Structure 1
């Protein structure tokens, strides 16, 4: 099964990336995910279910530890071509 995760961390700071946003980027970029798109207002990544779920676990734990007050995420199953 392939999954796509979309997430944001808050609070926002448009002048400087907050620590939790930097941590989120590190988690996603070091995981073995595909189609990674990291931006100031939303982030997406795709991969196999185990990889995505492991990354989501690390993302939640590490961004909250780094000061995030809210992490919004959505996980979708990607239909694979047969």
Structure 2
């Protein structure tokens, strides 16, 4: 099974890249996940085992580095990277 996690950490800082955001990026990179950084959040994809382990580290370490809120969404994805629930006829 493959999983995709989409996440943001807060508080946002317009003047720089906060330590908790740097920590989140480091965690998913070190987990070996495929990472996509967007303007409103970051997504990372990998096997269920590596993604779940990265989520645990991400939550613990970003809180330790100043995050006051972490928003996560986890989706099961096919080999093509598309969420299973978004496929026609999937429920």
Regarding TM over 0.5, the answer is yes
In structure 1, the partner of 2:44 is 45
What is the total number of aligned residue pairs between the two structures?
Answer: 80
2-structure distance, mates of 1:40, 1:54: 25
Displacement over 2 Å in runs of 4+: 38-41
1:57 positional shift: 0.3
1:41 positional shift: 2.4
Q: Secondary structure at the match of 1:68?
A: coil
Unaligned runs of 5+ in 1: none
1:28-79 residue CA offsets vs partner (Å, 9 max, x unmatched): 1111112x11245200011100000000000000000001000000000013
Unaligned runs of 5+ in 2: 81-91
In structure 2, the partner of 1:69 is 68
What is the TM-score with the length of structure 2 in the denominator? 0.82
1:21-32 aligned within 5 A: 21-32=21-32
What is the TM-score with the length of structure 1 in the denominator? 0.90
2-structure distance, mates of 1:41, 1:19: 17
Answer 1 or 2: higher relative contact order, Cα 8 Å, separation at least 6: 1
